[in-house]
């Protein structure tokens, strides 16, 4: 059983993830960071981070550590140009880094102000 990684045959064992098969074949990185172009591959191995993104069977930005490896799959390394742009997401309170102002005597996030 094999899958193709950037045109190279990689052995696949039952129960392996795509990242596990790549790692077992000695492939340690399959994408680069957006800013510095540094290599990335398997980091957490449990889907908590996004270091192992790859294009799997034509679907970009898949976490290789979560996708079960199958014979015949086609895996393409992801470069900074193929990764989806980071979305800014919703603004969070206090995310500007500024200290929130509280009027004297007003309730704060930790509760009412206690008398002196």
Global confidence as pTM: 0.67
Q: Is residue 22 part of a domain?
A: yes
Return d(Cα 106, Cα 57) in angstroms, integer: 57
Q: With b meaning 16 or more CB within 10 Å and e meaning fewer, what string describes 35-57?
A: eeeeebbbeebeeeeebbbbbbe
Q: What is the pLDDT of residues 3-53, one digit of tens each?
A: 999 999 999 999 999 999 999 999 999 999 989 999 999 999 999 999 999
Q: Is residue 110 part of a domain?
A: no
pLDDT at residue number 80: 43
Range of the domain at 11: 2-76
Structure token pair of residue 98: 């500024």
Q: What is the pLDDT of residues 97-112, one digit of tens each?
A: 444 454 555 554 445 5
Q: Is residue 35 part of a domain?
A: yes
Q: Is residue 10 part of a domain?
A: yes
CATH, residue 58? 3.10.20.440
């Amino acid at each position: 059983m094999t899958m193709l990684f950037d045109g190279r045959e990689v052995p696949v064992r039952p129960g392996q993830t795509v990242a596990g098969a790549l790692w077992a074949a000695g492939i340690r990185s399959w994408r680069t960071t957006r800013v510095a172009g540094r290599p990335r591959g398997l980091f957490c191995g449990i889907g908590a981070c996004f270091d192992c993104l790859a294009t799997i069977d034509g679907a970009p930005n898949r976490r290789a550590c979560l996708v079960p490896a199958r014979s015949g799959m086609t895996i393409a390394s992801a470069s900074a140009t193929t990764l989806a742009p980071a979305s800014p997401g919703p603004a969070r309170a206090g995310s500007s880094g500024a200290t929130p102002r509280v009027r004297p005597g007003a309730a704060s996030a930790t509760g009412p102000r206690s008398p002196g």
